[in-house]
Amino acid sequence: MASLSDSVYNVLKALVELYNKENSPVKSRDIANALGIHEGYVRNMLSILKSMGLVISKAGPHGGYIPTSKATDVLSRQTFSVPIASLGNVVGYALDITLIGLLSDKPFASMRVVGDLAGYVDREVRVGPLPSGLVLIGRVIKADIESLMEISSIISIPRTSVKNIMTPNPVAAKPDDSIEPYVKLFIEKRYRGIPVVNEERKPIGLLMASKLMEALYGCRKDVKVKDLMVGEPPVIHEEEDIHEAIRIMVSGGIGRLLVVNSEDKLVGIVTRTDILRRIATLEQLV
């Protein structure tokens, strides 16, 4: 039985159930509590669902997330969803994929698509990773609800958990720290981002090199980490498959994920580079 990627499916299912029960917008923390997972991770999944047109958000104190009519359809069909990318940008999602003539000289993929591929006819796209671990590369020859792609190559991604490729025990900042000790790290180690954690070592933000350099350029040496950090950092659980890490990176256009354990504590960082070291052929995909 095919399904959405486990994490995305579970978040969507919980959202629909909570919304049907309360008949009001659902907070990300309520979904996180229902599933027993980190709220930041839930927000990552909601961002993907929102880009697919399966979820809308409502601002304000009484706001939250609301499933669209498409969400019920996707859940009822129990179909998997994978990103369709062109030049590193997600341009749609395939809800069903049927491979045709794999043993022939010209194999094809028939896809039911969320999004508009009309502008990508005769252009190369990448579809995946599929639940099987395959990534399809080829040319769109028909763009419609039922689209058709001529496959030029297929990449197989071996399965392994994020904890096997992450950088463990990363340097982490505290929100009340001065930025001064981290300047040297950014320069010498060429870090692009340092996670910010609370007293329980749970991630609450990211201190980005660009923000720190802006502060130094403006001679703002007395600022603290909390003044510059970006909140709600993207996270992933250490037991998740790297397929899920790739989906989140591609869908969100991000290059790193903070890795947490069962207690939601920071245990590592996984980056595009980590994945590329493991699977060199994925350089163009991620």
Q: Which residue has the higher pLDDT, 27 or 210?
A: 27
Q: Which residue has the higher pLDDT, 247 or 268?
A: 268
Tens-place pLDDT, residues 89-140: 888 888 778 888 877 788 999 988 888 899 999 999 999 877 767 889 999 9
pLDDT at 286 over 50: no
Strands (E), the chain: 55-58, 64-67, 82-86, 89-100, 108-114, 124-127, 134-142, 146-156, 167-168, 193-197, 203-208, 230-231, 235-237, 256-260, 266-271
| Confidence band, pLDDT 50/70/90 cuts, at residue 282 | very low
Pair 76, 56: CB distance under 8 Å: no
Tens-place pLDDT, residues 168-210: 999 999 999 988 888 878 887 888 889 999 999 999 999 988 8
CA dist., res. 117 & res. 123, Å (int) = 10
* pTM for this entry: 0.60
Helices (H), 23-130: 28-35, 39-51, 69-77
| Confidence band, pLDDT 50/70/90 cuts, at residue 2 | very low
